Amino acid sequence: MSRYKKYDGGDPLAPPVDLAEALDAIGEDVMAGYSPERAMAEFLRRGGKDQAGLDDLARRVAERRQEITQRHNLDGTLQEVRELLDQAVLAERGQLARDITMDDGDRALREMQLDNLSPSTAAAVSELASYDWASSEARERYEQIKDLLGRELLDQRFDGMKQALEGATEQDRAAINEMLTDLNELLEKRRQGVDTDDDFRDFMGKHGDQFAGPSGNPQNLDELMDSLAQRAAAAQRMLNSMSPEQRQELMELSAQAFGSPELMQQLARMDDNLQALRPGEDWSGSEQFSGEEGLGLGDGTGALQDLAELDALADQLSQSYGGARMEDVDLDALARQLGDQAAVEAKTLQELERALRDSGYLKRGSDGDLRLSPKAMRQLGKALLRDVADRMSGRSGARESRSKGLAGEPTGSSRPWQFGDTEQWDVPRTLTNAMVRQGGERPMRLAIDDVEVVETEARTQAAVVLLVDTSFSMAMDGRWVPMKRTALALHQLISSRFRGDHLQLVTFGRHAQVMEIEELTALDARWAKGTNLHHGLLLANRFFRKHPNAQPVLLVVTDGEPTAHLESSGEVFFDYPPHPLTIAHAVSELDNTARLGAQVTFFRLGEDPGLARFIDSMARRVDGRMVSPELDDLGAAVVGSYLGSRATGSSYAQQFGGWGGRGFWVGG
């Protein structure tokens, strides 16, 4: 048998969550030094281009909370009682003035009682409890006060009772008193640990129709206690939020509810039971209300419940506690407070977090921390490579000359075009793809995804070393993230397009270190002083010697002259300004690089003239090049230089071998 219910998942035709934007943002933050866990939390906090984030939802929760407290005050019931009392007294005075049959002494006594009523509303109501009303209208207004107080007190504890008991009979009130008596007996059984499921079923069988309000029918005693305790605690916070004078008047008036103190006694007994059974509720809090719109006891309690719910939502949306997850956000509460659209936005964030965790882009390390997986690194690398391609295609001064021939031997197969390809197009396959995609539509238009190229085998291999400066100045001057972006883009290009090439990433600060791409992208900024180019070149030359049949390619990214070198003992020598011995060690090892036949390119960051002269002289010494890119163009410069050295004599060598566009100058 099929069952149906209202769909509550937002737009059923909405596309699945798009992880591309999230992964790009997370990758950027990881390279800036965030952990993947924190980077994901930051993206969920900020949101995306067309997706509200947690900060926006939290702001709207705070605005809703402020609206409640600044719009309302808590003396609505007292005001309503005062109005009914004034109406009763006015009607009684009118009756006394009109009744010519009344004894003058009796009239004078009654008028004196009315004239001497206490200015306190509660005291005046109490003083009139035994008054013999001459006016039927006045008596009706006074009875309305007792009825109102009873319904308001019940509405404080049982949402919807004020409306349900409007016009209630004595029989209805007796049923309420009986329900409260049975409820307290059931709660006291629970306190003693002797209640049973049958007790709850018997209670609901007898009184269940009185719990069919907005909160729905509880399925067990715990659900009933949770609902009652939350409401009762909110009622207590409302009392705490009143002024001492308001609180005193209300407590005195409560004794007049339904004309006797019995109701208040039963409710006090219930509150005592609930506080014992649910001590975790906030029974002592208070709020400041400053508005002009008065709230009755039931509505005021509802407002306090709303504030508690908003506070819980604010805590959930902050995600600032240990083990926080988007699944913690109560979507039903969010819909009640901010509307259905807010719940849909939060649900989308939940699905996004779940997709990020379940998609394989994040993996849990041996230490329990999240890390970017190889799959995520590839995705991020593709995005960075696309950015590099865009910058290279728009480079002013880049010549569009093409040379004939292939960069390798044809294999007889074709494959989709990728950035960096120099092979000829496979025209039949390309046109076939376009026709299939367009279904024979005329005129036929080519899209980039239609293009296939002739697959070739590379004629030569390259051994590529990217030396990246990780000294203090790189972090201090904002070059840390661009350096990482560059390394990841180059890694992605070589691993996806030039798989036969060998790439090694070497960082050099006070000492040098070989790193995997995952280590480099997660590397925190290093604040130790020292630029040990000598050690970096030692590691690069060792790598080149391991690949004697490959063309050595050395790419050096730095923003400072060498200030450290590795001594024969293995200790690091540091001095600033650069010591002549440090310079000599770096130059000597660079000469070894040249003897290995390496193609060398230096990428100089910064505008230091002394650094420019030093790098220029180093490049000239080994017949290499120096490029001084703008920071945003570093990735395009390094990738372009690699492609140029990788395809010497081909179109890429001509296109990227000697940039002269804005932001670049070439020496050597």
SS3 301: helix
Dihedral Cα 49, 51, 53, 56, nearest 10 deg: 90
Rounded CA-CA distance 151/144 in Å is: 10
- Averaged pLDDT, 570-587: 93
Among the listed ranges 116-120, 195-199, 208-212, 218-222, which one has the minimum average pLDDT value? 208-212
pLDDT in the model for residue 479: 85
Q: Which residues pair with 565 in a beta bridge?
A: 573
Rounded CA-CA distance 317/337 in Å is: 14
Rounded CA-CA distance 584/587 in Å is: 5
Buried b (16+ CB within 10 A) or exposed e, 199-219: bbeebbeebeebbeeebeebe
pLDDT in the model for residue 667: 29
Question: Which H or E run contains 452?
Answer: strand 452-458
Amino acid (one-letter) located at 663? G
Question: Which H or E run contains 556?
Answer: strand 551-558
**Alpha helices (H) along 468-608:** 472-476, 480-496, 517-521, 533-546, 580-595
- Give me the residue label for tokens 């506080």: 275
pLDDT in the model for residue 446: 84
SS3 294: strand
pLDDT in the model for residue 215: 56
Pick the residue with more confidence: 16 or 282?
A: 282
Amino acid (one-letter) located at 239? L
pLDDT in the model for residue 666: 28
Domains belonging to the chain, first-starting first, are 73-204+214-308 (no CATH), 408-458 (no CATH), 460-667 (3.40.50.410)
pLDDT tens per residue, range 302-320? 888 899 999 999 999 998 8
Task: Reply yes or no on whether the pLDDT at 636 is more than 60.
Answer: yes
Pick the residue with more confidence: 481 or 622?
A: 622
Task: Reply yes or no on whether the pLDDT at 530 is more than 70.
Answer: yes
For residue 397, name the pLDDT band (cuts at 50, 70, 90).
very low
CB atoms within 10 A of CB 227: 17
Task: Reply yes or no on whether the pLDDT at 157 is more than 50.
Answer: yes
pLDDT tens per residue, range 494-524? 888 888 899 999 999 999 999 998 888 877 7
- Burial (CB < 10 A; 0-12, 13-18, 19+), residue 659, is buried
Question: What mean pLDDT is reported for the chain?
Answer: 83
pLDDT in the model for residue 13: 40
Structure token pair of residue 126 = 């109490």
For residue 393, name the pLDDT band (cuts at 50, 70, 90).
low
- Averaged pLDDT, 525-547: 91
Among the listed ranges 289-293, 353-357, 513-517, 653-657, which one has the minimum average pLDDT value? 653-657
Rounded CA-CA distance 231/158 in Å is: 7
Whether 619 and 602 have beta carbons less than 8 Å apart is answered as yes
Rounded CA-CA distance 466/553 in Å is: 9
Task: Reply yes or no on whether the pLDDT at 174 is more than 60.
Answer: yes
Task: Reply yes or no on whether the pLDDT at 400 is more than 50.
Answer: no
Beta strand pairing call for 512-515 and 502-508:
antiparallel
N-term to C-term CA, the chain: 81
For residue 359, name the pLDDT band (cuts at 50, 70, 90).
confident
SS3 552: strand
CB atoms within 10 A of CB 275: 15
pLDDT tens per residue, range 215-252? 567 889 999 999 999 999 998 999 899 888 888 888 88
pLDDT in the model for residue 502: 93
Task: Provide, rounded to the nearest whole percent, the portion of the chain with pLDDT above 70.
Answer: 87
pLDDT tens per residue, range 19-29? 778 887 877 77
> CA of 113: how far to CAs of 102, 110, 344, in Å?
16, 5, 62
